[in-house]
Amino acid sequence: MSPLDLLVATPLGFMLAALAFGGQGRWLILVASPLMMSLAVWLVFLPPDAAHVVGGWDLPLGILLRGDGVARVFVLGAALCAALVGLQALYEFSPQSGGPSARNRGFWPLFYLMWAGANAGFLTTDLFNLYVALEMVSLAGVGLSALGSLQAALRYFLFALMGSLAYLLGVALLFANYGTVDITLLARTAEADAATLMALAVMTGGLLVKSALFPLHGWLPPAHAAAPAPASALLSAIVVKLGFVILMRLWFEAFATLAAPIAVGLLGALGAAAVIYGSIQAMRQRQLKALVAYSTVAQVGYLFVAFPLVAAAPSAAWSGMTLHAVAHMLAKAAMFLAAGLMLKAAPGRDIADLVGLARVMPVTVTAFALAAISLMGLPPSGGFAAKFMLLDAALDQGAYIYAAVLLGGGLMAAVYLFRPIAVAFSGAHGRAVALKAPLAAVAPLALAMCAIALGFFGVAFAELAAIGAPWAQGDAIGGVP
Partner 1 sequence: MSAAFDILLCLMILATAGIALFVRGAFAAIAFFIAFGNLLGLAWLALGAVNVALAEIAVGAGVTGVALILACSRLFELGDNLADVRTPLASRLGSAALCLGFTVMLAGVVLTIPPGDRLSKVVAPLLPGLGIENPVTGVLLAFRGYDTLLETFVLLGALVAAWSLTPDASRRLPPTTMVMTDPTSRIVAEAFTRLLAPAALIIAAYLVWVGSDLPGGAFQAGAVLAGALVVATLGGVVVLPRLDSLAARIALMVGPLTFLAIGLAGAALGGRFLAYPDGLEKTLIVTIEYALAISIAAGLALLAIGPPQPMPNNARADAR
Partner 2 sequence: MLVEGGHVFAVTGAVLAGLGFYSFLVKRHPIRQLLAANVVGAGVFLMLGGLGRSPGGADPFAQALVITGIVIAVALSALGAAMVVRLAACGDKDEAPLGEKREGP
Partner 3 sequence: MTSESLLLPAAVAWPMLLALASLTPGFRSCLRAALPLAPLPALAAAFLAPREVLVNAPELLLGGGGLMLTDAGAVFLGAAAGLWFCAAIYAVRYMRDDAHPVSFALFWNLVLAGNLGVFMAADLASFYVFFALLSLMAYPLVIHDRKPASLRAGTVYIVLAVIGETALLVGFMLAAHVADGAIMIEEVRAALTASPTQPATLWFLIVGFGIKAGLMPLHVWLPVAHPAAPTPASAVLSGAIVKAGIFGLLMFLPLGATFEMVGSVLAFLGFAGLFAAALLGLAQTNAKTVLAYSTVSQMGLIVGVIGVAQAAGTPAASVLAAVALYALHHGLAKGALFLGVGLAQHTTGAWRWLVVMVLAAVALSVAGLPLTAGAMVKEVIKEPAGALGASLIGVSSLTSGLILARYLFVLPASATQTRPPLMLLAPTVALAVAALCAPWMVLTWSAATIDYEPSDLLSQVVDAWPLGFALILAGIVVLLRLKCPTLPEGDLLFLMRQGLLGANATLRRVGRFAQAMATPVAREQRTKQRGAAWLNYLDSLERAAQGQAAIGGLLLLVAAALGAALLYG
120 interface partner picked from partner 3, partner 2, partner 1, none, CB below 5 to 8 A per type: partner 1
Q: Tell me: cis bond preceding 308? Omega within 30 of 0 counts.
A: no
Contact between 350 and partner 3 per CB under 8 A: no
As a whole number of Å, the end-to-end CA separation of the chain is 41
267, 270, 275, 276: CA torsion to nearest 10 = 150
DSSP category for residue 126:
B
Q: Angle of helix 101-123 relative to helix 127-146, nearest 10 degrees?
A: 160
Does 480 participate in binding partner 3 (rule CB under 8 A)?
no
Residue 418 interacts with which of partner 2, partner 1, partner 3, none, CB < 5 to 8 Å by class:
partner 3
Q: Which does 46 bind (CB under 5 to 8 A by kind): partner 1, partner 3, partner 2, none?
A: none
Distance CA 205, CA 373 (A): 32
- Bridge partners of 124? 65
Cβ atoms of 214 and 270 within 8 Å: the answer is: yes
Q: Which does 401 bind (CB under 5 to 8 A by kind): partner 1, partner 3, partner 2, none?
A: none
In the complex, the smallest distance separating the C-beta of residue 184 from partner 3, rounded to whole angstroms, is 21
Tell me the closest approach of the beta carbon of residue 204 to partner 3, in angstroms.
Answer: 5
Show the 3-state SS of 144-157: HHHCCCHHHHHHHH
344 binds, among partner 3, partner 1, partner 2, none (CB under 5 to 8 A by kind): partner 2
Q: Which of residues 389-408 bind partner 3 (CB under 8 A)?
A: 391-392, 395-396, 403, 407
- CA distances in angstroms from 449 to 335, 382, 456, listed in the order given: 11, 10, 11
Region near partner 1 per CB under 8 A, out of 17-25, 183-191, 216-224, 444-452: 17-25
Secondary structure of residue 191 in the 3-state scheme: coil
Nearer to partner 1, 191 or 463 (CB): 191
Q: Applying CB under 8 A, what is the total number of residues that bind partner 3?
A: 73
Alpha-carbon 460 to chain mean position:
21
Mark residues 247-286: x for contact with partner 3 by CB under 8 A, - for none. Answer: -----------xxxxxx-xxx--x------x--xx--x--
Shortest distance (Å) from residue 145 CB to partner 3: 14
Rounded distance between C-alpha atoms, residue 478 and residue 481, angstroms: 7
Q: What does the DSSP assignment read for 58-119?
A: PTTTS-EEE--HHHHHHHHHHHHHHHHHHHHHHHHTSGGG-S-HHHHHHHHHHHHHHHHHHH
Residues that bind partner 1 (CB under 8 A): 1-2, 5-6, 8-9, 12-13, 15-16, 19-20, 22, 52-57, 60-63, 100-103, 105-107, 109-110, 113, 116-117, 120, 128-129, 132-133, 135-136, 139-140, 142-143, 146-147, 150, 169, 173, 175-177, 179, 193-195, 198
User: Given the rule CB under 8 A, which residues bind partner 2?
Assistant: 61, 91, 94, 96-100, 103, 128, 131-132, 135, 139, 142-143, 146-151, 153-154, 157-158, 161-162, 165, 168-169, 172-173, 175-176, 226, 228, 343-344, 348-349, 433, 435-437, 440
